[in-house]
Structure 1
Amino acid sequence: MITGGQSYVSAPPAFSADGRLLLVCTGRTVSVFSASTGMLVSELEGHEGDVTAVVVPPPPAGAPAAAAKLASYCWTAGLDGALIYWDFAAAELVRKVHVGLPVHSMAIPNITRISRGADIYTPFAFVSVEDTSKPSNEGKTMRGQLQIYDLTKGRQVGSLLAETCKPEKIVASSSGEFLGITNKRKLHVWRIPMKDFKPDKIRKIKLCHTKKLNTLAFHPSERIVAGGDVTGRILIWRGFGNAKFSGSDGAKSKVDEDRDDVRGNSDADTCTTWHWHSGGVKFLKFSSDGTYLFSGGMEGVIVVWQLDTGKRKYKPRLGSPLLSFVDSPDSSIACVSCMNNQVHLLKMPNMEVMRSIAGIKLPISSPNLDGCYRDVYGFDYSNKLVAVPTQDYCIQFYDLFENTEVSEVQVCERNFQPVDDITMYISLVSLSIDGNLMCTVDVKLPEEQLGGLVTLKFWNQGSRAGQYFLSTVIYEPHSDAGISAIAFRPGKNMAVSSSFGGNFKVWVQSMLLQPSDGKNQSGWRCQSVGSYKNKPMTAATFSSDGSVLAVAAECVVTLWDPDNNTLVGVIAEALSPITKLSFVGTSPFLMSLSQSSKPQVAVWNVPNLSMQWSYSLFAEAACCSSSRSEFAVLALLSCPDGGTLAEQDGVILLFDAENPKPISSWSVKKARGGGVAFLKADSSLDANNKDMIDGEASFLVYVNSSHEYVIFDPRSNEELHIGKSAHRNIQTEEPAPIGYASIYGELLKPKSKKDVPEIPFIPSERPWETIFSGSSHVLPPLTKLCPAFLASLLEKRPVANE
């Protein structure tokens, strides 16, 4: 079983102490990537729930030996209620602490405790947990708790720091002296005693605002805290806690922590407001020297604020809303997490994108016939790729076996703008069996019932899998009606598009001679048009040999000769309009899905023009094997309107076309909006597969509504879950450069005399043509260039001695 597609941006990542590695939370594992190459180095597997936090503790102050020893260790927290200590250099689990409640966030300050007269480094974890014993449907229920755990003894210490309606993210200052969370319109800030730590010495203040706060950040050296709200404003509190935190750690103050006047009575010297973001601020981060403040949000732009003046500059065109920003200990590299499941590694301070760690793009909604929103998938069965439409109107091709992005194809041009209304979407993606051809349908929604446009595009494959270039663009292929299905004919360059307007069109590829350059280019043209009683054509498919075309005219299945476009048969009606048709391998059976209020999964006997059997199932998706008489159905366990998208669980049923009894079944999560497909097995796995046909083994892939997927052998009885992957491409980490190479890069190695041909040097007769050539920062100053230039213009004559 192979799994992948986990989110890389569900929690902020963390750099190793030397900045060479990046630790990313990916589902139930922590993936360790190389910061220099962006390649996967190792995986930390041990959590039984999703990992929500990874923390590389700062090295103890004044203890270089201990710092070197702890440089490759980290703590992780997860929804399974466990805190795990790792040696991530060796990918080994060292210790596990059980909290007992789902952990949503964690911070580990650099705290020391006095034992026998000496300061001893003792790790304490401040965790934000969710009390699952309290009901979740009541708005005022306090399910969020902030607890303290002694990681050495593995037990909770002290009382609760705070209770909130939901678990909040904990933010710690770089020194670990201050911790903070956002709670509605307030910032809760705690001062942690760094030496001789005791929970009763922790002091707390509240800083209030008029809008809901999203995030906060602490200055690295001064008592300054920044908060970002839902309207895009950034508030800077300077000198916070001067009254409450003054004096010794045990001193009591009469200052009321609940004073909620924003400007006048809060425990801060001043409060300044900045505003540039049009939407909510998602992250705030001070630079390591405290001179600048980084902010980001829905605009996909990193804003760099100068703390003293409020002036700003920008890092634009990141192409997606931003979620988090993390800097490296060496300050030369940072990373930003984007909502499209990408982590960009930035070269500081100019923030140039050096590498990108790209996961499968997260789901986007596109409207369907019944008014709901569903995901659209395309599968390249031969190359084991899934084609996923993205928010920026691209098709992302993702390698399912390697769990890596292969390429992106831009279907429509778009400049990223954070708008809520959907004005255009990709409604269909279809690929031929061999992956050489692709067809897309993009729809521009009308504004006030004007300006709608349906575009059909044909693409040819390039030199490698996942690379496509545009061949033909057809505007309004079916007048003003929408396209319900696209299907390619096996073995020939032919495709069919069915329309809700009452017809279908057969398209063929032809070679066009361009008179300008005389080169042959392929284009697609309409060969024939068919219809059946002017009924909407809702689905279409070809048989495995391409000799029969089946088109659904609402509830009726019609059979056509694709070469002559003649009707050869009609099969009895289904219960409701058919939304999907597919021939079952090389067998004479045809499978259909009806996904309306009267759902039905039916198998039709094509030679007899009759129904073989049927079930009343709420089917979300289905797929047929290309070599066997088997097909799989992704069915929902409840009515589609019975819950939200994430709550709709389901079951995968494997059928033989002749028998209505399922061969196998698997329970799956997040089935609503998911998809299934048969794929050719990876070559490395074929050798051990006993059920190969024609030298090829068939595997089944399930993609859930979060774009997580699992690939498994449908003839095995193993339980499906998104967990450990049995097949990952892990690279070996290269040694980090040191000395001169770490600052300026590797020096060019001089070539040997054997490799360099001897060319006699001939001085130029026109040196002034090249004397000023070159970059301005490497040219000599004009005081040296001008004499040489003037000397080249003068004729030299020998001077006679008198």
Structure 2
Amino acid sequence: MRGGKSYVSAPPAFSNDAKRLLVCTGATVSIFSTSTGLQTSSLEGHKALVTSIIVVPASSPASKVLCFCWTSSLDGTIRYWDFSAPELMKTIDVKMPIYSMVIPSILGQPANDDEKPSQVFAYMSVEETKVQENKPKALRGQIRKCNLTDSRLAGGLILGETQRPVPIIISASGKFFGTQSKRKLLIWKVPAKDSVSSVAKKITLHHTKNLTVLAFHPTNRIVAAGDVTGRILIWRGFGNQTFPIGDKLANGRLIQHEEERPGVRGDDDADSCTTWHWHPSEVNVLSFSSDGAYLYSGGREGVLVVWQLDTGKKKFLPRIGSPLLYFTDSPDPTLSSISCADNRIHILKMPSMEILKSISGIKLPCSFPEVKESPCSKFAFDYSAGLVALRMENYCIQLYSLFDDREISEIQVCERNHQPGDDVTVIVTLVALSQDGSMMCTTEVRLPEEDIGALVCLKFWASASQNKSFCLSTIIYEPHRDAGVSAVAFHPTRNMAVSSSYGGDFKIWVCKDDIQQKSEMLQNSGWMCHAVGSYKKRPMTAVAFSADGSVLAVAAETVITLWDPEKNVLVAIIGEMQESIMNLSFVGKSEYLVSVSRGSKPRLAVWSMSKLSVSWSYKLHVEDVACAVDSSLFAVLVLPKSSTVDSNESIFQGKNGVILLFNATDPVPVATWSAREASGGGVAFIQGNQSSFQQNVSPEFLVYMNGDHEYVVFDPNDSDAPELSLTRPGHVVPEETGQFGYASIYGELPEFELKKNQSLLGPSGPSERPWETLFSGSSHNLPPLTKLCSAFLESLLEKRTAIVE
């Protein structure tokens, strides 16, 4: 199961009846209902990112049910679909990545079928991959023509070249299309009778700043463009000299005097150029209304501006909450859509601009300012419900369903007004969910102003199991005095939590309504400090509860301390790593504990709780670790840092990450999968959703979410997991393992030449020297040394036949 794709990588398209919205989602096209906002079907077939969708318009009002569309992709193909079936009708391979595409001949088609063009042509913005990178000022972007009827490129015809591929915009009539290239606006006129050999004429309009977007008026020769400074330029009467109507000039005369062409630069072919300025930063959205009376614009500030074209007066749709990317009109003049940078598409009722429905995808990664001694969690997973909680830039937490691939709810963590482009003043650093999903804990840091006024806040949230709308339960200011919170974890069965800090202590928190049923909403519940612990005033860097909650493991820099959380008594101290331990996780029924150290000498270590010693370890740079609840399996996401795995580059085989699945009792990986965009990613085990899979499979699934928040949910026990490059365990030999058995207690036995690799390769046949494996195995299962000693010494002695005289 895959999901988490971006909904805003390219503009969407409405169906002819405006009841469906076709959205580019990675290599597929997802079809949503505009009335419910839910996905109804999808078009699957492309092998790379889909870059454009063009719905074939209805030739008459009676044929609104026409459900055909063209799509282009970076895989170099153009595909023709019947999206009502859905069914792929035709595929054209142009063998170059297509970044944008328009089809002029299907727009403004005459009602009489006899007058329709016999051939259909598409104009594409493609990338010429054969251009050498070291060539100075290499032009990799090209505007090319494709014959869709004959399924081939129109010879070697290149209409234009740019430094990189750029989007193409077409007029509503299909007579003009254009694009922007730095400070130039390039506009082509489509030949009246398009053919393979016909060449579209081109004009160039100039500006003093880099242009970002353009739009054509639906009926008049007016083109608008936005630039990086927030200005909007409107050229009227463009192309009247180069593109005359018939044999005459459009205005009947040739204008040569500059004073008669206000605002037009040089010899540009336009009658006038007007400049409007409201946006404080670059303009991303420009679109004329269907009647041409208004111009819509938007940018980073998250406000949709409606300009009256004749007067320049404007009105606004404010507080959309995210930078705007695309504005899309529909055949129904009462409906439009606007795509936002937070991976959300709003369906608007026009002309009132009321938001009717929102299609919310998973929140895309955003950059947060670094906070000293306050690590930031990437995301948290709800094991029981299959949800993921993600931090958002606007002080919110998004709960997203992994099985349904849709947003469940959005929790406002900090009550602060936030507009896109504002300086971030508060950062939600950590988020943790209880195992049953009924409780949530967040930490936030208010950034200091001139090193004054920093504030750390710990918040507890409660939710009924049937409703994932969390409500705030308790606020704790400065939970660890002036130190930052390093980690938070929930008790597996009780309303108890623990937080650790770099200030050298950890605190156990309990809810006074612990006896209340978890299925009920916690009303007026409050959390209070139950106990405080520390170890030699060392910074506490990681925490974890055992499966039954009877043991609390707290990392004090390089050592692990084990506590009784009820009595707050230090039970044991284990380990001494070379770097600070940043992650602790109990495996299964808590027979083993996994620790992760990062730094110049990173290490993944598995600790035996029965022996309180290292069972085995690897020197690997671990990005994330996840432990199964009902088994002894755990998964780690590993990055290929050359300083740590020089001898194991074969593990990664050119990939930028690997998922290793282990059984805690065995240092040999059960399975490995290659992972892309692993930096910033994470792994987790979640409880299976049988209704989604409709088959009897493992109750626990493994989730991998990459740095772009795209994810895959699969059964880790299924060796045929689709599209996961499964590598057999024999192909991976980790760099080193810890010692176990006799050697873990008393050290190596060099005189016996004990070989690590022999134990890693699994059981072997009977040995010719059985005494070599005499001390292998768990130490508590071995016979006493008094019984072994005589057999051991006897095996070293050479037997001789005694001769008695």
Task: Tell me the TM-score normalized by structure 2.
Answer: 0.83
Q: Determine the structure 1 residue equivalent to 2:68.
A: 73
- Give 1:40's aligned amino acid: Q
Q: Determine the structure 2 residue equivalent to 1:756.
A: none
Residues 289-313 of structure 1 show CA distances to partners (whole Å, capped at 9, x for unaligned) of 1000000111111100000111100
Q: Determine the structure 1 residue equivalent to 2:11.
A: 12
- 8 Å contact 1:76–1:84 — kept in the other structure? yes
Q: Determine the structure 2 residue equivalent to 1:132.
A: 129
Q: Determine the structure 2 residue equivalent to 1:447.
A: 449
- Give 1:319's aligned amino acid: G
Q: Determine the structure 2 residue equivalent to 1:596.
A: 599
The change in CA–CA distance for 1:138 and 1:437 in structure 2 (over 3 A counts) is: farther
Q: Secondary structure at the match of 1:200?
A: coil
The change in CA–CA distance for 1:119 and 1:362 in structure 2 (over 3 A counts) is: closer
Return the match for 2:665 from 633, 658, 675.
Answer: 658
The answer to whether 1:145 aligns with 2:145 is no
Q: Secondary structure at the match of 2:716?
A: coil
Return the match for 1:178 from 176, 179, 182.
Answer: 176
Q: Determine the structure 2 residue equivalent to 1:353.
A: 355
* Aligned counterparts of 1:260 and 1:198: Cα–Cα separation in 2: 39
Cα distance, 1:260 vs. partner?
A: 14
Q: Determine the structure 2 residue equivalent to 1:683.
A: 690
Q: Secondary structure at the match of 1:538?
A: strand
- Give 2:283's aligned amino acid: V
- Superposition pairs of residues 472-511 of structure 1, within 5 angstroms: 472-511=474-513
- Give 2:561's aligned amino acid: T
Q: Determine the structure 2 residue equivalent to 1:167.
A: 165
Unaligned 5+ residue runs, structure 2? 515-521, 646-653, 726-805
The answer to whether 1:583 aligns with 2:582 is no
- Give 1:717's aligned amino acid: S
The change in CA–CA distance for 1:371 and 1:46 in structure 2 (over 3 A counts) is: farther
Q: Determine the structure 1 residue equivalent to 2:299.
A: 297
- Give 1:147's aligned amino acid: R
Cα distance, 1:687 vs. partner?
A: 6.9
The answer to whether 1:438 aligns with 2:435 is no
Q: Secondary structure at the match of 2:691?
A: helix
- 8 Å contact 1:648–1:671 — kept in the other structure? no
- 8 Å contact 1:57–1:109 — kept in the other structure? no
- 8 Å contact 2:56–2:67 — kept in the other structure? no
Q: Secondary structure at the match of 2:581?
A: coil
- Give 1:487's aligned amino acid: A
Q: Determine the structure 2 residue equivalent to 1:744.
A: none
- 8 Å contact 1:640–1:648 — kept in the other structure? no
Q: Determine the structure 2 residue equivalent to 1:790.
A: none
* Aligned counterparts of 2:287 and 2:81: Cα–Cα separation in 1: 26
Larger RCO of the pair (alpha carbons < 8 Å, separation 6+): 1
- 8 Å contact 2:655–2:674 — kept in the other structure? no
* Aligned counterparts of 2:712 and 2:81: Cα–Cα separation in 1: 26
Count of residue pairs brought into register by the alignment: 700
The change in CA–CA distance for 1:119 and 1:327 in structure 2 (over 3 A counts) is: closer
* Aligned counterparts of 2:549 and 2:485: Cα–Cα separation in 1: 21
Q: Determine the structure 1 residue equivalent to 2:793.
A: none
Cα distance, 1:467 vs. partner?
A: 1.5
- Superposition pairs of residues 316-331 of structure 1, within 5 angstroms: 316-331=318-333
Unaligned 5+ residue runs, structure 1? 513-518, 724-802
- 8 Å contact 1:235–1:271 — kept in the other structure? yes
Residues 571-591 of structure 1 show CA distances to partners (whole Å, capped at 9, x for unaligned) of 121121011101001041100
Cα distance, 1:9 vs. partner?
A: 0.6
Q: Determine the structure 2 residue equivalent to 1:120.
A: 117
- 8 Å contact 1:462–1:469 — kept in the other structure? no
Q: Determine the structure 2 residue equivalent to 1:277.
A: 279
The change in CA–CA distance for 1:249 and 1:89 in structure 2 (over 3 A counts) is: farther
The change in CA–CA distance for 1:297 and 1:147 in structure 2 (over 3 A counts) is: same
Q: Secondary structure at the match of 1:189?
A: strand
The change in CA–CA distance for 1:380 and 1:72 in structure 2 (over 3 A counts) is: same
* Aligned counterparts of 1:689 and 1:135: Cα–Cα separation in 2: 53
Residues 216-244 of structure 1 show CA distances to partners (whole Å, capped at 9, x for unaligned) of 00000000000000111000000011111
* Aligned counterparts of 2:714 and 2:523: Cα–Cα separation in 1: 43
Q: Determine the structure 1 residue equivalent to 2:775.
A: none
- 8 Å contact 2:586–2:627 — kept in the other structure? yes
- Superposition pairs of residues 397-546 of structure 1, within 5 angstroms: 397-419=399-421, 421-462=423-464, 464-511=466-513, 521-546=524-549
Q: Determine the structure 2 residue equivalent to 1:92.
A: 87
- 8 Å contact 1:193–1:249 — kept in the other structure? no
Residues 690-720 of structure 1 show CA distances to partners (whole Å, capped at 9, x for unaligned) of 5x5xxxx110011111111100000112356
* Aligned counterparts of 1:403 and 1:340: Cα–Cα separation in 2: 16
Q: Secondary structure at the match of 2:198?
A: helix
- Give 2:102's aligned amino acid: A
Q: Determine the structure 1 residue equivalent to 2:756.
A: none
Residues 135-154 of structure 1 show CA distances to partners (whole Å, capped at 9, x for unaligned) of 45777221111111000001
Identity %: 53
Cα distance, 1:607 vs. partner?
A: 2.6
Q: Determine the structure 2 residue equivalent to 1:742.
A: none
Task: Tell me the TM-score normalized by structure 1.
Answer: 0.83
- Give 2:170's aligned amino acid: A
* Aligned counterparts of 1:215 and 1:598: Cα–Cα separation in 2: 49
- 8 Å contact 1:637–1:649 — kept in the other structure? yes
- Superposition pairs of residues 16-55 of structure 1, within 5 angstroms: 16-55=15-54
- 8 Å contact 2:262–2:273 — kept in the other structure? no
* Aligned counterparts of 2:373 and 2:158: Cα–Cα separation in 1: 47
Q: Secondary structure at the match of 2:104?
A: coil
